[in-house]
Chains A and B, each alone.
Chain A
Amino acid sequence: MNEIKKDKFGTVVNKISFPLLILFTIATLIPIYILIKVSISKPADVLTQHPTFLIHNFTTKHWSKVLASGKLWPAFNRSFTVASFTALFAIIIATPASYVISRLDKKVKYVVILSLFFTRMFPNVGIALPISVKFIKWNLIDSNLGLVLAHLIEQLPFITWILVGTFETIPVDLEKSAMIDGASRIRALISIVIPIATPGIAVAALYVWLNSWNEFTYALYLSLSENTLPLQVYYYINRGGFFQTATYATILAIPVALITYALQKHLKSDSLGGAIK
């Protein structure tokens, strides 16, 4: 009976749903296409009143220029080093803490996690200001150590959040039975809990690595002459280096795109909270 009842809204939704999805998908992909297109186009195709949409004059000139310029590798190294050490320190500091938080009473845990989120409400510019004043005194401006310390500010709450979720899935009984068999608490943690949590820790570390690799605000506050890769992109935007910007931006995006794609199946909504940028 009910089938006869008219559902105009439902009919419209059913009809436009798929075309709309295709439209959104195309809109999603266009900016990436344009970016890559600019990095491999001759100036005549791009720097005109009427840029072309298809790639007419393919050239690797901008890429070879950037790769040979000697400015790419220092920035690349710096970003790579800072991101790797940030991820390493984040694991060392956050793993034990997340383990403890995950074993807390439900109510206490809720409060702890909420206060971790609370730190994310502070504007970066408000934290970066006194940090950079402090680091000038400590001579940490333009240093890798300074950047690692600053990146940890954002990454520690984030990785803790993810790791608490990982440890929560490991049953307490496993530790308990190990301890009944005579293992100490530390022993039970190191040889039972940590090995089970390793894949989760690895995923979290990769996220931290990516966030640090992309980080812009703290890097901008704490750098005067030595650029990270995102700052190098920004430097060329300001200089009006149309093609260098596109090439550097593409180089910056490649590892991110690859790792994100590989991690896609690990994306869970609870771990996304902190990932939002």
Chain B
Amino acid sequence: MFLVIFLYIAFLAFIGFSLKKAYDFAKMPMHGRWELYPVPKEKGRGEYGGSYLEETKWYEKPRETSLVAEIIDMAKEIIFIKKLFDNQRPFWWLSYSMHLGIYAMIAWLVLLFLAVFIDSSLLNGLIALAGGAGIIMVMIGSIGLLIKRMVNPEFKMYTTGLEYFNLFFLFAVAFTGFLCFITDPMFQYGHDMMGSMLTFFPFAPSALVTLHLVLAGAVIIYIPLTKMSHYVGKFFSFHKVLWDNDPYLPGNEIAEKVAAGKSYKQKGQWSAPHYPGNQKIEN
């Protein structure tokens, strides 16, 4: 029962910490424009990297954006990690394996949830497939990345102790999961866990399953506290910085924010001599 409560806490912590991170970014002051093209939402221009600034008197013309183009671009990135695929193929194989494995594990959880209500051998097969493939992919990806970072001088030079630890932690979860999988290929323990989580009926996992689930819970709590929470960062980097090209136009939302920002009284001051009041008085 403690395990079930711990898993609930882990999921809630994951959601809570991730939302807190997103909230912290969202409440930051409006930043200066720092867009970078291509901006996919630019209707008819996103493909080649154009923008509304290619028009004369653009400020008098309606802004044309395409949510579909933006979603397609995002989907390519989320599903395939396209930029990595295009520009850094050797790294992509490992990173993609790990990420795809994580997606498969999320699918595994959803399928287990459905299996509580639907008794289907197809569903059970899919659970075994998603869980097995997911755990193997996370395991290969995490150990592959760990080894790559340890032996390739280019990567080793930039990798910190914490980054090794993060990969090792993911590997430990995947490895214990793999051991569970080979002893229980149809994931009976997964069905039991999900059933117990929904009914609060105790379930009695083996020592190995307990170890795996404790580690999994811990990593779920840990991820949003580290830079592995880049699923949050990535949203803000693209949507709120690189693709944020909304202009100031009198009366628009940006103008309102600019006006509101003007009332802010700065408390600190930079110290260089060209700032007002910082000039040294020469005797």
Report if A and B associate in a common complex: no
